[in-house]
Structure 1
């Protein structure tokens, strides 16, 4: 588990050009991927959130339940937000200064059969 390495990966995602698609975004998994214990994933998330907050200020924190309900009613939610709704319940988002990009971090913990994983996404679009 190397926070410096994951911060560098987030920087790379922020610097990378977006594809020409309608709702372009970049995503990655952070940390070791196979956490020794679920609590380790949440502790790593807290440490990473602390570093990102030092960089960009307080995050917006929101839940995906409303998006999940909108999807269930047939509304089309753009990516990466629809995918994130399937992965996580709790989300943190920062606006990156100087680039108009958003960095979103979430623990993918909706699948009770799997151990949680730490997800990051970078996009220009705001959560719907």
Structure 2
């Protein structure tokens, strides 16, 4: 992943007006699918996407301090049990296991980075989330 492009996207979306639902989700990077690929290729790709997330996270740490490391496992459990979880957190919990999360100083705005993987045969995605909806 191109860190400079990722940072430029963060800069752009962190100040952009949010739509009515209160959040934006951007794909910073999308990998290929795994149809017919072995488990080894899947694991290598997962490691690369996590390394790319961590690299961008390091740069953002220089701006805003260390991120909150947030597991979305309990959010998924609560959502499937019928609790009304606000977006984008409810949707993210179904395919992003954890997030690096910052609240922008002096604002209600949250910035999150996470690696999405919907299914073993579908591509990985490095997602950037910008929202004013507090995490659950």
Could you tell me the TM-score, scaled by structure 1's length?
0.88
**Aligned twin of 2:9:** 9
Higher Rg of the two aligned structures? 2
Match for 1:120 among 104, 128, 134?
128
What CA RMSD, in Å, does the superposition of the two structures yield over aligned residues?
A: 1.7
CA distance in 2 between counterparts of 1:7 and 1:27 reads 15
The question of whether the paired residues in 2 share the 8 Å contact of 1:89 and 1:110 is answered with: no
Match of 2:25 among 21, 24, 27: 27
Q: Structure 1 unaligned segments of length 5 or more: list them.
A: none
Q: 2:38 maps to which residue?
A: none
Residue 96 of structure 1: aligned partner: 104
- Corresponding residue for residue 35 of structure 2: none
- In the alignment, which residue of structure 2 is the partner of 1:65? 73
Once the two structures are superposed, residues 21-62 of structure 1 have per-residue CA deviations (whole angstroms, 9 ceiling, x without a partner) of 2x410110113x126951221211111110111110011111
Structure 2 unmatched ranges of 5 or more:
33-40
Distance in 1 between the 2:12 and 2:67 partners?
Answer: 20
The match for 1:74 is: 82
Deviates more, 1:35-44 or 1:118-127: 35-44
Count of residues paired in the alignment: 125
Asked if residue 84 in structure 1 is aligned to residue 103 in structure 2, the reply is: no
